[in-house]
Amino acid sequence: MAGKEKMEQLKAAQQKWSEKTDESVQKRPERKETFVTGSNHEVERLYTPVDLEGMDYEEALGFPGEYPYTRGVQPNMYRGRFWTMRQYAGFATAEESNKRYKYLLDQGQTGLSVAFDLPTQIGYDSDHALSEGEVGKVGVAIDSLKDMEILFDGIPLDQVSTSMTINAPASVLLAMYIAVAEKQGVSPDKLTGTIQNDILKEYIARGTYIFPVEPSMRLITNIFEYCSEETPKWNTISISGYHIREAGSSAVQEVAFTLADGIAYVEAAIKAGLEVDKFAPRLSFFFNSHNDLLEEVAKFRAARRIWAKIMKDKFGAKNPKSMQLKFHTQTGGSTLTAQQPDNNIVRVAIQTLAAVLGGTQSLHTNSKDEAMALPTEDSVRVALRTQQIVAHESGVAETVDPLAGSYYVESLTNEIEEKAMEYIDRIVDMGGAPSAIEKGYIQKEIMDSAYEYQKQIESNERIVVGVNKFQTNEQPPQGLLRVDPTVGELQMKKIDELKEERDNDQVAQKLAELKKAAQTDQNLMPLILDAVKAYATLGEICGSLRDVFGEYQQTVVL
């Protein structure tokens, strides 16, 4: 009763304060008529306990490490150990990338993150006609187990965790990783790391799909099943909002579309006969971190709360690990500017703070030159140092979820949850994420936000420092990283040599077996592993599956 009375008093006082402030604002207008977040949510002048009226602490926030995990998935968060500092890297050949990984580990990085080139991501060998000009450009070229052996040469796979950004051919690259580990004498159950393996966001935003939806979902559930037995410490999927956000979505859309994809994967696995608490603990997520610090923190907190509720209420998960949304973060590539690239270091620092205050499990920080090219070693070091400064000097990692209880952050967290749930419900009504993608609904929603954002910049409603305000005349930056143009030829030579050395009859037999199994509902992972070990190339394996499954046809939405 006393609480209620106090609240009424407070509301009256706030009303009075608002009227008084409105009066003075009439004399001296504010900078803008309406204030909005980075994702266009209107921001009030002031947040007070009135905005959180009726919010129950235990229900909405709880304790860290406990349902609904709003405050974090571990009880003591970074007081135990910091997030994993994991820089996404890879370019040119396996030899070159192996050197970069060793450099990063020497600099204090604590996990690897492999970038593959586009032909690898789309299941073509380096000698395929469509690979021309693309080999080794956005990541490392991997054509066979042989390249993978070189990539991880001298890196003990029982001691590092490795994240691989690979989706459509995730099963093949995971099989190669397992095979390399075996050669190092490391058994699969010791392997830790993640494959991205998130095909739905490829259809939505990233574009490296191969097969149609159904066989793609089957490959994914095959991996869930196989890994739950063979590689129990491996994260089988990284359900990604990162690319959805990069494609131009708002923070709310990032959460909503990612979790809608997550629901689709859980449903597919349950439909394939898997038990939710057996595979769900190995699901992981991947989010973006943009410049609106407080909105981003609220986004991460809201995502955790929504996922916990979905897993508990919708899927009846009992294992707490099934309800915990663990996530990797990358700072926002699309927020970097080609103009005055040094400014990007500051943007990345803000985004790093957002990710850490939001409770991320691992983090990649972008380098200042990435609006122009792949980063140089020097700029990657600054990006990594940014994380180390936040970890060791900023103080934000010393207590758990330090922004909890901020009237603004909690209001935003509630608002993001509410708006994301509206989207998720709408998508469920449309038959789930796969059919919403097929209809082009998700793509169109993202595109609308992207275009709106662009218009705001062009009308100067939104300021991007150095782009539409505070410009300077500048010289083009020097010393950008260049990928050796002969990489394509080098890889082709390696493939030719491989095809002479290996037992081609055995390869043909393994590929035939794989094709046959693809036409049944057998788990394909063991057959892919066999083909990989016989040194069948990535292109041969994916080509065999293309023959059976066909290819995805994109829904083009403007």
Partner 1 sequence: MDRPIRVLVAKPGLDGHDRGAKVIARALRDAGMEVIYTGLRLTPDQIVQAALQEDVDVVALSILSGAHGHLLPKVVDKLKEEGIYDEVLVLGGGVIPEDDIPELKKAGVAEIFTPGTPTGVTIDFIKNNLKRSL
Binding site for partner 1 (CB under 8 A): 118-119, 121-122, 124, 129-134, 137-138, 202, 205-208, 246-248, 334, 337-339, 371-374, 447, 450-451, 454, 457-458, 464, 467-468, 476-477, 480, 483, 485, 554, 556, 558
The smaller minimum CB distance to partner 1, of residues 17 and 451, is found at 451
The smaller minimum CB distance to partner 1, of residues 395 and 476, is found at 476
The smaller minimum CB distance to partner 1, of residues 334 and 388, is found at 334
Q: How far is the CB of 247 from partner 1 (least distance, A)?
A: 5
The smaller minimum CB distance to partner 1, of residues 121 and 322, is found at 121
What is the length of the chain?
A: 558
Q: How far is the CB of 478 from partner 1 (least distance, A)?
A: 8
Alpha-carbon gap, residue 140 to 118, rounded angstroms? 9
Alpha-carbon gap, residue 260 to 241, rounded angstroms? 10
Q: How far is the CB of 405 from partner 1 (least distance, A)?
A: 36
The smaller minimum CB distance to partner 1, of residues 1 and 558, is found at 558
- Determine which helix (DSSP H) or strand (DSSP E) holds 56, and give its type and residue range: none
Q: How far is the CB of 447 from partner 1 (least distance, A)?
A: 5
249, with CB counted inside 10 A (0-12, 13-18, 19+), is: buried
DSSP three-state, residue 100: helix
Q: How far is the CB of 483 from partner 1 (least distance, A)?
A: 7
Q: How far is the CB of 337 from partner 1 (least distance, A)?
A: 6
Bridge partner list, 331: 289
Alpha-carbon gap, residue 192 to 76, rounded angstroms? 22
The smaller minimum CB distance to partner 1, of residues 92 and 179, is found at 92
The closest alpha carbon to 426, from 412, 442, 410, belongs to: 442
Q: How far is the CB of 92 from partner 1 (least distance, A)?
A: 11
Q: With b meaning 16 or more CB within 10 Å and e meaning fewer, what string describes 259-281? A: bbbbbbbbbbbbebebebbbbbb
8 Å CB contact between 487 and 92:
yes
The smaller minimum CB distance to partner 1, of residues 271 and 455, is found at 455
Output 391-395 pairs: Cβ under 8 A, ≥24 positions apart.
391/78, 391/82, 391/83, 391/85, 391/356, 394/353
Q: For residue 315, report the phi and psi dihedrals to the nearest 5 degrees.
A: -110, 0
313, with CB counted inside 10 A (0-12, 13-18, 19+), is: exposed
The smaller minimum CB distance to partner 1, of residues 189 and 484, is found at 484
Q: How far is the CB of 315 from partner 1 (least distance, A)?
A: 31
The smaller minimum CB distance to partner 1, of residues 244 and 311, is found at 244
The closest alpha carbon to 432, from 552, 307, 263, 308, belongs to: 263
Q: How far is the CB of 396 from partner 1 (least distance, A)?
A: 30
Alpha-carbon gap, residue 441 to 207, rounded angstroms? 16
- Determine which helix (DSSP H) or strand (DSSP E) holds 314, and give its type and residue range: none
